[in-house]
Amino acid sequence: MVEAEALAQEQAERVQALVASFSRIGHDTMLGLPFYNEALAVEALGFERCGDEWLGVLITPWFMNLMLLPERPIPYSESDNGQQRVVELPAGPVKFRCGGTEDFGMFHAQPIASPMDVYKSQEQARAAARKALAQQKAPAAAEPAPVSQSQQGVSRRTLFSFAGRPINTDLPS
């Protein structure tokens, strides 16, 4: 139990560090830009273990991303920015891009929304974040089995035309 509590505390600290980093970015460089939605705040939602990482959503006044955070901090590396990585989630494969900040370190992100002007309140943004996260955590729907010609039945065209049916010439006129 102590190990699980330690992991939960470490995860909470990592998520808090992510929020703090993007809060600073928002205050220092994004505030006042035309795509900055002042009705919103930086917030992290739903972070849970996903393999050796933490999966959740980061809401900011300028974007909303599905985020994968490494368990332990990885120092920021500009050369790694933009590298793609495909992660298999329950809903199927998701393409993430590597990113980072100097004070947080590296992470992987997949955009959900940008700009954020469609959201009039933090609660609207939270609802969208929860929905996006739930969609990624839900198992992918099974592909329907191909339907054979005999299972298809009669097409509408065949039903309402004589195509494919012999014309009976034995009927009296």
**Does the residue 152 lie in any domain?**
no
Task: CATH number of the domain at 6, please.
Answer: 3.30.1460.40
**Does the residue 90 lie in any domain?**
yes
Kindly report the number of other CB atoms within 10 A of residue 1's CB atom. Answer: 5
* Domain interval for residue 114: 2-137
- Residue by residue, pLDDT tens for the chain (173 residues) are 444 455 567 678 899 999 999 999 999 999 999 999 999 999 999 999 898 899 999 999 999 999 999 988 999 999 999 999 999 999 999 999 999 999 999 999 999 999 999 999 999 999 999 999 999 988 876 555 565 554 444 444 443 344 444 444 444 54
Tokens matching residue 132? 């996006």
The per-residue pLDDT for 1 is 40
Distance CA 127, CA 36 (A): 19
**Does the residue 144 lie in any domain?**
no
The per-residue pLDDT for 158 is 41
**Does the residue 99 lie in any domain?**
yes
Q: Which of 6, 62, 15, 13 is nearest to 37 (CA)?
A: 62
Number of domains in the chain: 1
* DSSP state letter for 78: G
Kindly report the number of other CB atoms within 10 A of residue 34's CB atom. Answer: 6
**Does the residue 155 lie in any domain?**
no
Q: Which of 107, 6, 106, 119 is nearest to 59 (CA)?
A: 119
Kindly report the number of other CB atoms within 10 A of residue 18's CB atom. Answer: 23
**Does the residue 160 lie in any domain?**
no
The per-residue pLDDT for 146 is 61
